[in-house]
């Protein structure tokens, strides 16, 4: 995190929206109960009234950027003794899978301070820490925001979430010698395709490990093997290799491993209405078995993961 003098910037804005207190929840086992840690940073569905009033979009359009129900899909974390951390606020309000100050100048009514990263590709696409657009490139806000509002969201939502995630990883690593983060996401069905035999087909899952940089290969292989065994179309790293969370927490040489799993939304819900479809329970049961396989594999190879970090 950037240690910058933010106090005077925040001074003109009120406190945290009461609807977002607390900003996150932790389900399942206590910290350190398993080397596995699950994170669902984009499944939050609490939309502050003030945010809805400031948006030019209706609530359903805003929600289509949400990783709806992903926290529920991966709720099997509890069965293997692992915690699941989920944000309560939506990604359209604040994106936890970005750098803390990946700020878009077009979102704000004032010049941005020097500590802001305004030049990333994600900012250029309107998808910075405070997003300018939803996934279909529709502008979120009626008017630019005060800079103090953006800083307040980072300080009261982003910082506590990442502090909690870091604490969970530290607890797992302290007890087991290694920690394995599963960063849980969903993807629009239209955004993930693979070419096979000259034909394009939809992907069901994309597993991201930063092209091998964020996790030991055996971890990814367990996930991929089980998902393919269920008949799903699975691909690694394309088009999603993992974002800030995978990059930031995936340090295999230090015993921290991070893998991003993207699940096609069409597998388990209607992408337009956001209603769960008849396959929801089946997909959740399959992901339960992925978690169980991972837990079993980590129990068998924990010594190898610890050795890799030494």
Domains of the chain: 18-308 (3.40.630.40)
The stretch 112-130 carries a mean pLDDT of: 96
Contacts of 44 (CB under 8 A, 6+ apart): 66, 86, 87, 88, 89, 90, 91, 93
The stretch 94-123 carries a mean pLDDT of: 97
Reply yes or no on whether the pLDDT at 279 is more than 70.
yes
| Percentage of the chain exceeding pLDDT 70 | 91
The stretch 105-111 carries a mean pLDDT of: 97
In the DSSP assignment, the letter for residue 289 is H
Q: Which of 136, 140, 120 is nearest to 128 (CA)?
A: 120
The stretch 6-24 carries a mean pLDDT of: 66
Three-state DSSP at 223 gives: helix
pLDDT in tens, 144-156: 999 999 999 999 9
The stretch 282-305 carries a mean pLDDT of: 89
Question: Mean pLDDT in the chain?
Answer: 91
Q: Say if residues 36 and 182 touch (Cβ distance below 8 Å).
A: yes
Strands 24-28 and 83-87: antiparallel
Reply yes or no on whether the pLDDT at 11 is more than 80.
no
Q: Say if residues 304 and 257 touch (Cβ distance below 8 Å).
A: no
Instruction: Give the pLDDT confidence score for residue 5 in this predicted structure.
Output: 36
Instruction: Give the pLDDT confidence score for residue 33 in this predicted structure.
Output: 86
Confidence at 302, pLDDT banded by 50, 70, 90: low
Instruction: Give the pLDDT confidence score for residue 204 in this predicted structure.
Output: 97
The stretch 262-276 carries a mean pLDDT of: 97
Instruction: Give the pLDDT confidence score for residue 139 in this predicted structure.
Output: 97
Confidence at 34, pLDDT banded by 50, 70, 90: very high
| SS3 letters across 21-47 | CCCEEEEECCCCCCCEEEEECCCCCCC
Which secondary structure element, helix H or strand E, spans residue 297, and what is its range? helix 280-308
The stretch 159-173 carries a mean pLDDT of: 97
Which secondary structure element, helix H or strand E, spans residue 80, and what is its range? none
Q: Which residues make beta-bridge pairs with 87?
A: 24
| Percentage of the chain exceeding pLDDT 90 | 84
Instruction: Give the pLDDT confidence score for residue 212 in this predicted structure.
Output: 97
Instruction: Give the pLDDT confidence score for residue 6 in this predicted structure.
Output: 39
């Amino acid at each position: 995190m950037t240690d910058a003098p933010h106090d005077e910037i925040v001074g003109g804005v009120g406190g945290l929206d009461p609807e977002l207190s607390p900003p996150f929840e932790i389900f399942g086992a206590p910290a350190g109960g398993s080397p596995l840690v699950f994170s669902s940073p984009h499944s939050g569905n609490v939309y502050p009234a003030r945010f809805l009033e400031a948006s030019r979009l209706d609530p359903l359009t805003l929600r289509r950027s949400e990783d709806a129900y992903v926290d529920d899909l991966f709720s099997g974390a509890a069965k293997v003794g692992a915690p699941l951390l989920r944000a309560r606020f939506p990604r359209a309000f604040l994106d936890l899978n970005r750098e803390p100050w990946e700020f878009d100048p077009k979102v704000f009514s004032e010049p941005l301070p020097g500590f802001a990263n305004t030049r990333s590709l994600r900012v250029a696409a309107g998808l910075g820490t405070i997003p300018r657009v939803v996934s279909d490139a529709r502008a979120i806000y009626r008017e630019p925001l005060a800079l103090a509002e953006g800083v307040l969201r980072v300080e009261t939502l982003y910082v506590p979430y990442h502090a909690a995630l870091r604490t969970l990883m530290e607890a797992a690593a302290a007890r087991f010698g290694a920690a394995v983060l599963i960063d849980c996401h969903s993807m629009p069905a239209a955004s993930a395709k693979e070419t096979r035999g000259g034909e394009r087909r939809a992907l069901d899952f994309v597993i991201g490990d930063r092209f091998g940089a964020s996790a030991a290969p055996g971890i990814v292989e367990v996930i991929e093997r089980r998902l393919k065994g269920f008949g799903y179309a699975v691909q690694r790293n394309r088009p999603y290799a993992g974002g800030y969370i995978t990059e930031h927490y995936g340090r295999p040489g230090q015993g921290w491993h991070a893998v991003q799993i993207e699940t096609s939304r069409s597998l388990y819900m209607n992408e337009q209405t956001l209603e769960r479809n008849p396959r929801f329970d089946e997909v959740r049961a399959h992901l339960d078995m992925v978690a169980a396989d991972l837990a079993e594999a980590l129990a068998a190879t924990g010594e190898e993961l610890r050795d890799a970090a030494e």
